[in-house]
Amino acid sequence: MFDKLRVKLNEFRKAIDDKLKAAPQPAEKAGILDKAVAITKGEVILTEKDLEGPLWELEMALLESDVALPVAESIIDSVKKGLSGQRKRLLSSTGDLVEDALRDSLLGILSAHTLDFEEYVKAHEKPVTVVFTGVNGTGKTTTIAKLAELLKEKGYGVVIAAGDTFRAGAIEQLEKHADRLGVKLIKHQQGSDPAAVIYDAVAYARSNRKDVVLADTAGRLHTNVNLMEQLKKISRVIKPDLVIFVDEAIAGNDAVERARLFNDAVPISGSILTKADADSKGGAAISIAHITGKPILYLGIGQGYKDLKKFDPEWFVDRLLER
C-alpha cells in the first residue's frame, strides 16, 4: 500500500541530506549572527536555494502520486516553511528535520477535521441515518455491507435502504448482502423515488427500534444535473445525519474531482476510500481530505466484509514516511 509515494518521500529526505553534506561552510552562506552561531556549533543552515531543487522534485513526486496540484502546492509551502532557515549539525542526518516537516504538513491536512463514525453512532439519537453518495462501481454497495457488519458486531440494529432505484441490479446486489448479513433491507421497485425508499427505511427503523439506517443512492454521474438534483432532494426530504462519499483510492485525481463535485451538491460529512489495498500512490486520501475539508473515515482494504480499516491519520502518515 502506498509504496510509490513512500519511496518518493524517502528520496526527498535523501536529497536534502545530500544537499547539506555538499553544502558550503556556514561562514559562506549565513548572516552575521547565524554565522557566529553556526561556526561555534558546527552547523549549516538550510536556505531556500538549497531547498529549491528537492522541493521541485517533491512537488513532481506528489503530483505523480495523485496529489492534486493545489494540495501539492500547499504541502510544498508548509514543508518549505518548516525547513528553510533551519540549522542542522554538519554531517548529522537531516532525516528527522525533513521527516518532521513532512509529517506536520501531511497531518495538518489529514487531521484538520475529524469524525469518529462509531462514536457518532454511539452518542447520537437513534435512528442515525447515513446516506452514501458516489459513482457506480467504486465499491459503495460493498462498503455499506462492511459498515452493516461492523455495526451489527457492535450490537446495533441496522436497516439498509436500497436507494439506488436506477438499476434493478443494484437492488439485487444489496439484497444479497443484506441476506448474508441477516440485516433488514427496505426496497421499492426499480424506477421508484429513492427519497421514498429511504423515508420508509427510516420509518421502519423508528417503529422497530433499529439504530442505524444505511442508505444506498444511485451511482449518479456527477456531470448529470438531474441526478445531482435527485441527490439534493434526498437530502432535503430525509435530512440525513451523515452523508458519506465513497470512491476508489486508485481512481486518483478522478476521485478527487468527483469528491469536490459531490461535496458541492450535497455537503458530505466524510469520505471512505475503497481499494486502498491496491493503491500504490496514497495521494487520493490526502487530496480528498484537503479539497472537501472533511475527514477520511475508513479505507476499504479488500473484498471481504471485515476488510474495512478505520482511517487513522497517524498510521497513514507513518506508512508514507517508513524508510
Ligand X SMILES: Nc1nc2c(ncn2[C@@H]2O[C@H](COP(=O)(O)OP(=O)(O)OP(=O)(O)O)[C@@H](O)[C@H]2O)c(=O)[nH]1
Binding site: what residues are annotated?
A: 134-141, 216-220, 274-277
Tell me how far, at minimum, the Cβ of 299 lies from ligand X, in Å.
Answer: 7
CB of 93 to ligand X, least distance (A): 37
- Which of the stretches 67-75, 99-107, 120-128, 131-139 binds ligand X when contact is defined by CB under 6 A? 131-139
Among 42, 278, 314, 318, binds ligand X (CB under 6 A): 278
Beta carbon nearer to ligand X, 105 or 133: 133
Cell numbers linked to 251 = 481512481
Q: Which three cell numbers, joined as nine digits, stand for 35?
A: 554565522
Which of 8, 13, 88, 140 is the binder for ligand X (CB under 6 A)?
140
* CB-based contacts of 115, cutoff 8 Å, min separation 6: 269, 270, 294, 295, 297
- Check: CB of residue 243 under 8 Å from CB of residue 292: no
Count of residues interacting with ligand X (CB under 6 A): 19
Which of 43-51, 66-74, 105-113, 273-281 is the region at the interface with ligand X (rule: CB under 6 A)?
273-281
Binding residues for GTP: 134-141, 216-220, 274-277
One residue of 56, 81, 303, 306 binding ligand X per CB under 6 A? 303
**Which residue, 207 or 223, is less far from ligand X as judged by CB?**
223
Per CB under 6 A, 235 contacts ligand X? no
**Spatial distance between the Cα atoms of 298 and 294, rounded to a whole number of angstroms:** 12
Please, which contacts does 317-320 make with residues 24 or more away whose CB atoms are closer than 8 Å? 317/103, 317/106, 317/107, 317/110, 319/1, 319/2, 319/6, 319/282, 320/2, 320/5, 320/6, 320/9, 320/106, 320/282
CB-CB contact of 137 with 51 (8 Å): no
Is position 224 an interface residue for ligand X (rule: CB under 6 A)? Answer: no
Give the nearest residue (CB) to ligand X.
300
Of the candidates 86, 173, 253, 280, which one interacts with ligand X according to CB under 6 A? 173
Q: How far is the CB of 107 from ligand X (least distance, A)?
A: 24
Closest CA to 131 of 279, 242, 296: 242
* 112 to 18, 27, 122, 251, 292: CA distances (angstroms): 32, 40, 22, 23, 11
Q: Is 165 in the site for ligand X (CB under 6 A)?
A: no
The yes or no reply on residue 187 touching ligand X (CB under 6 A) is no
Residues 6 or more apart in contact with residue 187 via CB below 8 angstroms:
161, 162, 171, 174, 175, 197
133 touches ligand X by CB under 6 A: no
CB atoms within 10 A of CB 32: 7
Which one of 60-68, 109-117, 120-128, 302-310 is the stretch in contact with ligand X (CB under 6 A)? 302-310
Choice from 115, 277, 312, 319 touching ligand X (CB under 6 A): 277
Q: Is 219 in the site for ligand X (CB under 6 A)?
A: yes
Exposed, middle or buried by CB within 10 Å (0-12, 13-18, 19+), for 23? middle
Binding of ligand X by 191 (CB under 6 A) = no
Question: Which of 95, 108, 157, 302: binder of ligand X (CB under 6 A)?
Answer: 302
Site residues (vs ligand X, CB under 6 A): 136-142, 170, 173, 219, 274-275, 277-278, 300-303, 307
